Structures are given as C-alpha cells and as structure tokens.
Amino acid sequence: MNRSSEIKHQLANNPVLLAPMAGVNDPVFREICKGMGAGLTYSEMVSAQGLAHASQRTRELLSISDTEKPAAIQLFGSDPAVLAAQAHAVEDYCGDRVALIDINMGCPVRKVAGKGEGAALLKDTDAARRILQEVVQSVELPVTVKIRKGFERDDDLAVDFAKMAEDCGVAAVTVHGRTARQLYQGTSDRTVIARVKAAISIPVIASGDVWTPEDVLEYLQVQKADAVMVARGAQGNPWIFGHTLGLLSGEDPRAERTVTLAERITVAAEHLHGLAQRFPHRLSTMKKHLSWYFRGTTHASAVRRTAHSCGTVEDYEQLLDDIANWEADDD
C-alpha cells in the first residue's frame, strides 16, 4: 500500500477525527476522545525548532499512549531542513505510535505567522513547497498538510495550494474554510472542500464549524470530504464522536443525545486524575476543561467561577463533589 492509500484506508475506517488544538489536546483529553469513538487524534502543534533544542516540555507533546496509538503529530516551523530533521526524529522517537506527520500551514497567531511559520506559508508557495518536498523525503511515514482557505480575508487559494502539496507527495490535505485574517470568527466556507476535492486525487479532510454530528455528515455527503475534524465542537463534548458514529451508522437522527450530569462528572474526574498523575504541571488547564464540560448545564456559571480559584487536585475534586451535591439538592 502506498502512503496515500494507507491514509485513505484509515480515514474510511473512521472519518471522524479530533483536530489538532494547541493548549487543549493534552494526551489525556485525546485518549478520552479516542475512547468515545474518535478516529485519528492529532497532537497539539509542536515547534520543530523547539524539538531541535530538545526542550523536555516540547518532547512531552510527542507522548502517545497505548490506548491512543497511532496518533498524528503536527509540526510547525519555517526552515525546511529543521522540519525535515525533526520529522525524522519524531518518526524515530514515536515508532509505531505515530500514524503520520502533519505540517501546520494554517496557524494565524502572530507569534507563529509573524515568523514565517503556520499560515504565513500560504503567502509563500515556494517556501511551502520546499518544506513539503524535504519533509516527504526525510520520512517513511505519510506526510500531510493542514491549510486554510487563504491568508487575506478574501483569498481563495486552497485549490492551487492543495495541488502544489499533492505534487510534493503529501498523502492528504486538511482544509479549514476560514482565512487566516478571519482567525476563528465568522463562518467557515464549506464549499471550498468540494472544490479542493474535485481538484486533487489524494484524500481531503474538512475542518471548520463542526459543532454537531449533522455538520460531519454534511461535509462527508455534500462536500465529499474523505474525513472531518472536530475541533471546538469537541471541547467539553467528547461524546460528539460516539453520537456522530451513531448517525453515520444509520441511527435515528432524533436519537437521544443528552449527556447526563453524572457522565460529565465521571469524564471530568478521569481527565483531572489523568493530568494529575501524568502531567501535573498542566493541571491548571482543568479550569477551562471544567467550564467546557459543564457548559449549558444549570450550574455552568458557578462551575466557571469556582474552577477559576482551584489550584490543587483536591480543590478540583471538591468542586466535582459539590456539583454532584448541587444536583442532588435540585432533585
């Protein structure tokens, strides 16, 4: 099987992926999503330059457990030689835990794009081409690239950019239908997916405004995407993966999708204890994860307020106990 058909096969098996999300996708959250039905899960974006300097914190971003493997590792950078060397190092370091290396060409934040990395590469096709060619040559693994519709607000360059990437030998292209200038605002243009799909023969993965199982279905059936990434729609809602697989397998779309408070507490506790044991320095990210897990419930604002002042595992455990008790008081 060549690299592209390997990926095609994986995506066909389960086309509902967890998108890369910096500051969100710790390995514990990724495992939770996997356990709830996610197909391929993506790491946070990892700086190739940071890896080259072997920072311990950066290496930690490469951690993929037995439960999660194989997962996708996403790299960002601007120097083709550094990216190629670090892609090779990731392949060596992660072994059969890594499914593919994804190159980030969509990150719009100033401290990335301002240095010629991430979405800045959409404006410099020659630099992007050199990166993709060198990385593809440096590893056995499939290499993929994640792009946006364009950089400037009215850009529409995904089709040409994806063709260039295909020519470089990448195994799949992910397209987020917003431009870099849009950041995460406004709506994502879904039709760009169908246009890219019609222009290239490698798999196309859709990203942008995936909030419900029906959004996934629309990307797959109408825009003809090979797979779909769930990003903000998975924050505090890893259940979306199971619900989506249910819909794709023909379950009644009106099937009950409510998640009980007890289920939220159980998953939040699993996340908390996973972080406490394995990544204690990331415990403070539970503040945002907790407010997401309880978003939309009666106690959402109280959880957000209290989580803000939590510091230790015990503080968070107390909050989870309190939520269970508030619920009991409501009964």
Interface residue with ligand FMN among 2, 9, 23, 222 (CB under 6 A) is 23
3-state secondary structure of 204: strand
Do residues 294 and 323 make contact, with C-beta atoms less than 8 angstroms apart? yes
Is 150 a residue that touches ligand FMN (CB under 6 A)?
A: no
Instruction: Clarify whether 94 is annotated catalytic.
Output: no
Interface residue with ligand FMN among 48, 94, 143, 231 (CB under 6 A) is 231
Q: Which stretch binds ligand FMN (CB under 6 A): 84-92, 99-107, 195-203, 265-273?
A: 99-107
- Residue 288 contacts by C-beta under 8 Å, 6 or more apart in sequence? 24
Candidates 211, 149, 203; CA nearest to 176 is: 149
Do residues 174 and 207 make contact, with C-beta atoms less than 8 angstroms apart? yes
In angstroms, the CA 266 to CA 9 distance is 33
Interface residue with ligand FMN among 27, 150, 208, 274 (CB under 6 A) is 208
Candidates 200, 176, 74; CA nearest to 135 is: 74
In angstroms, the CA 10 to CA 5 distance is 9
Is 232 a residue that touches ligand FMN (CB under 6 A)?
A: yes
Q: How many residues bind ligand FMN (CB under 6 A)?
A: 23
In angstroms, the CA 226 to CA 11 distance is 7
In angstroms, the CA 113 to CA 180 distance is 9
Length of the chain: 331
Binding residues for ligand FMN restricted to 119-138, rule: CB under 6 A: none
CB-nearer residue toward ligand FMN: 8 or 149: 149
Tokens of 27: 């390995």
The nearest distance, CB 322 to ligand FMN, in angstroms, is: 27
Which listed residue (33, 94, 107, 168) is catalytic?
A: 107
CB-nearer residue toward ligand FMN: 29 or 294: 29
Annotate each residue in 39-78 with x if it binds ligand FMN (CB under 6 A) or - if it does not, as one string.
-----xx----------------------------x----
Tokens of 179: 């431009």
Is 186 a residue that touches ligand FMN (CB under 6 A)?
A: no
Residue 146 pairs in a beta bridge with 104, 174
Is 34 a residue that touches ligand FMN (CB under 6 A)?
A: no
The nearest distance, CB 262 to ligand FMN, in angstroms, is: 27
In angstroms, the CA 217 to CA 211 distance is 11
The nearest distance, CB 209 to ligand FMN, in angstroms, is: 5
Write out the catalytic residue numbers.
Answer: 107
Residues that bind ligand FMN (CB under 6 A): 19-24, 44-45, 74, 104, 106-107, 146, 176, 184, 188, 207-210, 231-233
